[in-house]
Amino acid sequence: MGWLDEILWDEKGLVPVIAQDKHSGRVLMFAYANRDAVALTAEHRTAHYWTRSRNRLWHKGEESGHFQRVDEIRLDCDGDVLIYLIEQEGGIACHTGRASCFFRVLQDGAWVAVDPVLKDPAAIYHKH
């Protein structure tokens, strides 16, 4: 049995993946990966995911240039969640131009954006 077989994939063949900054420990994003994405991540040491909205393999940074260099891949005790310990190129993990996708904090019953936009998404993503 190979190491990929030890991962408990869901009914769609996906596993949740948390991308965490290897230096600060900050959670930068959450996504899903399929078997191919995890295998490519392990082989190339850059983060690959499965985008459910586009229904395809996604090499993080392929459009933005903000690649994630993967230092470690960790599997949780139940075998059903991965963490990619990464270095985030360009310091931007979120498509909104922020360092992290987790930029909103619940304050007085409302979600408040507390992290700045580091780069305008229009300057990152170009329509082809």
Instruction: Match 């063949």 to its residue by tokens.
Output: 13
More confident residue, 64 or 127: 64
Residue 127's pLDDT is 53
What's the pTM?
Answer: 0.91
28 has pLDDT over 90: yes
Q: Give the whole-angstrom CA distance, residue 76 versus residue 98.
A: 27
Residue type, 92: I
Give the count of domains, the chain: 1
Place of tokens 């979120």: 94
Confidence of residue 128 (pLDDT cuts 50, 70, 90): very low
pLDDT tens-digit series, residues 48-59: 999 999 999 999
pLDDT at 88: 97
95-126 b/e (C-beta count within 10 Å ≥ 16 → b): ebbbbbbbbeeeeeeeeeeeeeeeeeeeebee
CATH number of the domain within which 99 lies: 3.10.20.810
Q: Residue 19's domain spans which residues?
A: 3-124
Mean pLDDT taken over the chain = 95
What does the alpha-carbon distance between residue 59 and residue 31 come to, in Å, rounded to a whole number? 12
